[in-house]
Amino acid sequence: MKSMPEIELKIKSRDIETLIKFIEENVPGADTDIVRRAYDFAYLHHKDQKRFSGEPYIIHPLEIAIILATLKLDTTTITAALLHDVVEDTGITLETIRELFGEDIALLVDGVTKISSIKKKSKSIEQAHNIRKMLLATIKDVRVIIIKLADKLHNMRTIMFLPEQKQKRISQEALDIYAPLAGRLGMSKIRAEIEDLAFHVLHHEEYHEIASKVVQRKQEIEDYIENIRSTIHEKLYDLDINAEITGRAKHYYSIYRKMKNQDKSFEDIFDIRAIRIITNEIKDCYAILGTIHTLWTPIALRFKDFIAVPKSNMYQSLHTTVIGPDGHRLEIQIRTWDMHATAEMGIAAHWLYKEKPRSHAQDYKNLTILKNLDKLQKETSTREFMKELKMDLYEDEIFVFTPKGKIVKLAKGSTAIDFAYAIHSEIGSHCIGTRVNNTLVPLRTELKSGDIVEVLTSKKGHPSESWLKFVKSSNARYKIRNAIRKRQENTAAPEVKPDIPKPDKTAEVSIPDNELIKIKKIRKQTKSDLVIDGTSNVLIKLSQCCQPIPGDEVVGFITRGRGITVHKKTCPSLKRLRGEKERIINIRWEGENSGNTYPIKLAVYGLDRPNLLKDLAEEISLSKSNILKVDAQVSENNNFAFKIVLEVKNIEHLNEIIKRLKTVKNITDVHKVNEKVVLK
């Protein structure tokens, strides 16, 4: 393994022509003009910036681009890599990138910037597992993560120029987040280098101890491997099978991890001796396996067929461990050349496949990491291939932040109530509202990965049965039911009054004969608070134009075949209906305290201040009303307006809510909005 100073000396000699050479070697016919334009643009805007090494900053994006070129990535990805820090570190906007380099490149640059944003929100490296999952769930284009991995790899290669404390923090982050991400995507070569570089910083003595012992045993291991290679080659020659046989060097961190996990000394790690056999056809892989097992005794339970059943990160190979010469355990991997490319580069290896004939693509039929892979294998257009290369590896989970940066894992479709109960049952039980990304939203709003969620609570708040209709988690549902039951047990039962039937109404109503049959055919609806004198079994609907509620003076309008629509007597819509007076009938509320609720929309205006929305939500909760929907806006001069749809029982209940809201500090006006209420 090269030392870090050697790597740095090598880097200093590279320039844009080095990058272009790699691109032309690995992607013949690629558009290098856009790469040169991106380099010149990045060079111009980073020209006054230096790295800790004292080098021009442009060296960093250039080296990332070279890493991606060696992986045979497309020029769109390479161009985005050259530009990935321009938006975050200079005054250039994403819109400028979009205008100069196109939508695809802008989206990749924006994605890499978002990863930095997610990292900054999280305050604790202890949440590394959830951060990894969040990145995969939030970033939909895999190329974004590949750029970030190349970015992290180059930072690790040049980490010696940073202060020691920063070296340790970045190395721990690389080991906990980015190395496992590379492994998750099947990019074992990048994972191994990141791990070894981080290992060198975090466990300096152990690193050099293992490196020293590997060097001491180098000749012994090479002689042993050469003996194995010679024996296998002779057998494969007889079978007319072409294959390359190499000794596989286990990287230092892998040896260290095995020593720690299995509590073994270096001398006890036998699979430092390992053989990798690479051939052309799948059938030859199995033939070679059979030959190996006739030469040496296989160890039970140490055989894995990842060709028939690939790993989720696309890895395919045959693994077997045998008792080799001198009684030493010998680990052997057998794969095709294409499988080897996938094992080294993971998802990035797909760029190698897009020009292959369809018959060859059959070898990858069982790969599982990408959706609709059969469709991807048929694509010959790079552009079409990229359109399909979208990922959601954790499609059943989302990851959201608390305001303090803690990550909370929830099931997909979870709401603020699920989040509140995931934090603590008391927070859930006293929840009265929520802000998502600093905006007040209904409790039933589904959360998305990356959302910052703040729960508004009140000591007087309590769970509502309506929550059971939209909560996702069984834990939240159980706690809601439990809290409601306890609340009911603690509430004294009301006095039971005798049920005295009311006398039937005798007043008559004039309904046109041609409408009578249609009304009688309408199905009977659930019990309403409205009564039509002398008529029953009639479908009654409340008008959305004026939103009548118990306590309002109302009239009914007979519609053709759709029952009766109820309007307030002051409703402007009635003016155009006056020409059909025969359709207007008397109607009244039977009882204004039945317990039924009705949706109405309020407009609230005021001057914005901290906690204003929280105070409004608390007043609505104390009024025993449920918020259904909120639309909020804040102007440049700090004036704010929001329209809120909530449930009320009657006109007195509505007036009480309006009165309460008007007492909130900075509120200038509250009134009912007489327009159609749309609940989505």
Q: Pick the catalytic residue from 24, 25, 88, 281.
A: 88
How many whole angstroms separate alpha carbon 411 and alpha carbon 598? 31
What value, to the nearest 5°, has the Cα angle with vertex 454 and ends 452 and 459? Answer: 170
Instruction: Please say if 89 is a catalytic residue.
Output: yes
502-532 burial, b if ≥16 CB within 10 A, otherwise e?
A: eeeeeeeeebeeebeeebeeeeeeeebbbbb
How many C-beta atoms lie closer than 10 Å to residue 601's C-beta? 20
Q: Pick the catalytic residue from 24, 40, 89, 220.
A: 89
18: Cα separation from own chain's centroid:
36
How many C-beta atoms lie closer than 10 Å to residue 602's C-beta? 19
What are 282's two structure tokens? 């799948």
What are 342's two structure tokens? 């996938």
- Among residues 183, 169, 200, 139, the alpha carbon closest in space to that of 3 is found at 200
Give phi and psi for 453, each to the nearest 5.
-115, 125
How many whole angstroms separate alpha carbon 662 and alpha carbon 616? 9
Are 434 and 416 a contacting pair, CB within 8 Å?
A: yes
**Measured between alpha carbons, how far apart are the two ends of the chain, in Å?**
60
Are 389 and 376 a contacting pair, CB within 8 Å?
A: yes
Q: DSSP letter for 581, please.
A: G
Return all residues near 49 (Cβ < 8 A) that are at least 6 apart.
56, 57, 89
How many whole angstroms separate alpha carbon 679 and alpha carbon 610? 28
- Among residues 357, 317, 364, 306, the alpha carbon closest in space to that of 340 is found at 317
How many whole angstroms separate alpha carbon 316 and alpha carbon 305? 8
Instruction: Please say if 454 is a catalytic residue.
Output: no
Per-residue DSSP letters for 133-164? Answer: HHHHHH--BHHHHHHHHHHHHHHHHTGGGS-H
How many whole angstroms separate alpha carbon 566 and alpha carbon 401? 46
Are 346 and 187 a contacting pair, CB within 8 Å?
A: yes
Long-range CB pairs of 461-467, under 8 A, 24+ apart, other chains included: 461/429, 461/430, 461/431, 461/432, 461/618, 461/621, 462/429, 462/430, 462/487, 463/428, 463/429, 463/487, 464/626, 466/626, 467/417, 467/443
Residue 312 burial class via C-beta count within 10 angstroms: exposed 0-12, middle 13-18, buried 19 and up = exposed
Are 353 and 303 a contacting pair, CB within 8 Å?
A: no
Per-residue DSSP letters for 449-497? Answer: TT-BEEEEE-TT----GGGGGT---HHHHHHHHHHHHHHHHHSPPPPPP
Active site residues: 88-89
